[in-house]
Structures are given as structure tokens and as C-alpha cells.
Chain A
Amino acid sequence: MSAHWSAGPPRDVAVPPGEFAVSPPEFADPTPSLADRQAELVAALVTGASDPAGFDRSRLDATRQALLRKRAGEAAQHWPLLAASLGPDWAPTFARVHAGHPSLGPLCDGWDVARTLRGRGELTSGAAGELDEADSRLFYDGQGVPRPHRTARLRRWFRRG
């Protein structure tokens, strides 16, 4: 363990500057808990938060890329025409759109990519049709889980009634 891990609440233990404190048992452990460290790590891997102390940055970068590739593969199953329209550029394009952004699930992940490309005028007609079909089926505000359009919900409500 190294000194910069002790960043956190101020301690009462006198520590010479630059040295790591090995706390005697009567003092509270100054190191972050496992729960804190795990939360820091997940945040760094999926939200773009800064890397927790002590980790090899290049290995965390490789892990971030691997997580994005896995997400791209899962999203491709929901958006086959979109993914096929990009071919080998699917995973890199997906990573550029989603790096630092946590997933709302593979359906939303692909939806975000489709909308980004439409905004740039880069959707092929097949992929545009796939996006139109999704937009007509469900309402997705880019923030939360897609849900049926209000008219569809009302229709169902009336049918039930």
C-alpha cells in the first residue's frame, strides 16, 4: 500500500510527512473500505471518474475498452442493421459515443449511437429504418428505460377498461 491512499478524512494519528501510517489497533483504520474502493473502481471504469489510487492506468484503460467492446456486441444484437451498416467501425463508433457513460442496457446503448449518427447525417437507409421502427414502437428520452408511447398506453388502458 502506498501513502497517497490515505487521502480521506483527517487523522488524529501523527504521521511523518510522506510516510504511510500503519495504524495501531486502537485507532480507526484510515484506509478506505473495500466498499469505497470498489465503488471508486466501478465509477472509474464506467463513468469516466478519475482512476482510484495505485492502479495501473494502462490496464484500466484496456479494461474500459474491453467493457465497451462487450457492450457494443450486446447492443448489436438489438440493432443488427445499424451494427451491420458500420461493419468493423461498429465497436469503435460505439466506444466514441459511450466512453465515460454508464449503460442503460443494450437497447438504449444502440439507440444512442443511432441518434448520434442521424444527427450527423451518417445513418444508412437500413439503419434509419431500424431507428424509425424503434422510435415508433417505444418512447426513449435518452435518460431512462424506453416505454410505450402515451397513445399506446392510453389505448391499452381503454381496452382494459
Chain B
Amino acid sequence: MAELLHGAGIGWRPEIAGVVAHLPALRFCEVIAEALAPATPPRGVAELRERGVAVIPHGVRLSLGGAEPLLAARVTHLAACAAAVGAPLVSEHVSFVRAGGREAGHLLPLPRTREALDVLTANVRRTQSELDVPLALEPIAALFDWPENEFTEPDFLTELLERTGALLLLDVANVHANAVNRGQDARAVIDRMPLDRVAYLHMAGGAERDGLYHDTHTDPVPEPVMALLRHAVSRMPGPPAVMLERDGSYPPAAQLEAEFTAVATTAGHSRESGPTCERVAL
């Protein structure tokens, strides 16, 4: 598989735009698609794009696993975002966010059944038909499972990616969260994931609360998640593209930069691998 992304990235958020602009060796960033106006991307995002930092629209409200029909306008918006920022790919989630006319307010897990696979497959293909770039799918962190599960999560994802040709956005913190909350060995789960389909990895912080691990994105990345990243990287042919997500309780700039650098070096990227250096070398 030709690699679409390289190096280390970060989830671009307006609150940390100033810090992100100065991160060393930043190769790509993700922008929440629903927060992006294709005609007028935020100045910070446009500037990164001009510097050669790849921008990936990341959808959170398409509801690819929803049994109700996809909203055509949301698919069109995602495609327009990709075109507007010249994205090498876009990403969304293996989840649903609304049903019966109600919004859940967050990403919810799907039953890992043949019926849900059929729904996902149809919705993913429908989305791909409007996109000019590849689509990567991210398995989510969940606090509960459906009782009717027929597949393990790695088997379910493998089947979904085979059916659709979509890529995998593997969130290492989500694997950790689900393994803790299901009483599984996270490394064994990683080993069974379709790692040959990985487009890039997510890393994020979380915290334990009442015996459950919550993928908060507002806490630092804990050591077990960093260790799981090391394990995932050891199972891959080369250093994978990896990015840090933070969605609130933003730490001081130095701390955010240190965490970004720790994620990048753990995945095997050096500080000197930024696009600026490449431009100089050319």
C-alpha cells in the first residue's frame, strides 16, 4: 500500500492554533470536518497547508453505522472539505451518532453483527463514491458492548475493510480503552488488527474513573498507551504516521509540544523529519 501520510501530526483545534503552528517537524494535521467551512478554512489551517503540512478532514457526525439513510449533505460536505484543503485522505468512525430522530451527542458503538456490517458497507461505499481521495475508518472507544456481537473487533474491522477497500485509522488509545473495559489484553488485540491497512494512528489521553477507562482527550497520554504504541509500531514494517489528539483542558504550550514530540519519537520519527527540512534539502 502506498503511504499517504508520513511523520507526526496533531488534531488542529482553534484553541491551540498558535502552538500547533510552531510544532517542530509537524507533517500533518486533522481538522474536524463539521467545523470546517470549505470556502473559508481557518487561517491557521490554510497557513499550515501552504507550508506543506497535509490537512485531513476528520468527520465525527456522518453516522456511518446508522441504520437510517446517510444525510446526503453531510457526505457532500466531507467531499468538499477534502477538495478545499487538498487532503490526501479523509477519515470517519465505525460508529453511529443518531437514531430515531435523536442525536446521541457522541460516537456510539455498533453491534458487531452481519446486519451492521451490511449497513456500514453500504454507507461507506456511498461515501467513497463521492470522495476523490481514500477514506480511513477509525474504530471508537466505548464503555459498553452490544449483547448481540457475532465478531471480535479485529475480525469485524478486517471484514469491513475487505468489503469496502477503506483504510484503517487505528486509535491506539481506543484499543487500550476497550481492552481495559472488556478485560482483554490490548497487545493481543493489536496483533489481530489489520495492520497492513493502517493509514495512520491516533494517540490521546484518558483517565480511569470508577474502574472504567475513559478516552477523554483532556488528560495526558498515559504510559500504558505509549507502551501500546511501541508495541503497534514493532508490528509494522516502518514508522507509521501518528498524531496526537487533544480536545480540551489544553496544557501549556511546552507541555503540549513535549507530548507531541514523545508520541513522534515513540513511533520512530525524529525531530528533523519536517517538510521544511525537505524543502531545504531540495
Query: Does A102 reach chain B (CB closer than 8 Å)?
Result: yes
Known contacts A34-B115, A34-B119; decide if A56 and B67 are in contact (CB<8 Å): no
Q: Whose C-beta in chain B lies nearest to the C-beta of A77?
A: B248
Q: Whose C-beta in chain A lies nearest to the C-beta of B105?
A: A67
Is A34 a contact partner of B111 (Cβ separation < 8 A)? Answer: yes
Size bin of chain B's contact surface: 20 to 34
Q: Which of B99, B210, B218 contacts A41 (CB 8 A)?
A: B99
Is B100 a contact partner of A38 (Cβ separation < 8 A)? Answer: yes
Is A63 a contact partner of B105 (Cβ separation < 8 A)? Answer: no
From residue 99 to 152 of chain B, which have CB atoms closer than 8 A to chain A? Answer: 99-106, 108, 111, 113, 115-116, 119, 142-148
Q: Which of A43, A63, A66 contacts B102 (CB 8 A)?
A: A43
Q: Which of B96, B103, B145, B147 contacts A2 (CB 8 A)?
A: B147
The interface bits of chain B over 203-232 (1 if a CB of A lies within 8 angstroms of the residue's CB, else 0) are 000000010101000100000000000000
The interface bits of chain A over 1-39 (1 if a CB of B lies within 8 angstroms of the residue's CB, else 0) are 110000000000000000000000000000001110111
From residue 76 to 134 of chain A, which have CB atoms closer than 8 A to chain B? Answer: 102-103
The number of chain A residues with a CB under 8 A from chain B is 30
Residue from the set B96, B111, B148 with the largest chain A CB neighbour count within 10 Å: B148
CB distance from B195 to the nearest CB of A (A): 28
Is B67 a contact partner of A73 (Cβ separation < 8 A)? Answer: no
CB-CB < 8 A to A102: which residues of B? 102-103
Residue from the set A37, A40, A46, A56 with the largest chain B CB neighbour count within 10 Å: A37
Residue from the set B100, B105, B145 with the largest chain A CB neighbour count within 10 Å: B105
Is B99 a contact partner of A47 (Cβ separation < 8 A)? Answer: no
Is A42 a contact partner of B108 (Cβ separation < 8 A)? Answer: yes
8 residue pairs, one from A and one from B, having the closest CB atoms: A39-B100, A54-B147, A59-B144, A35-B67, A38-B99, A34-B67, A39-B99, A42-B99
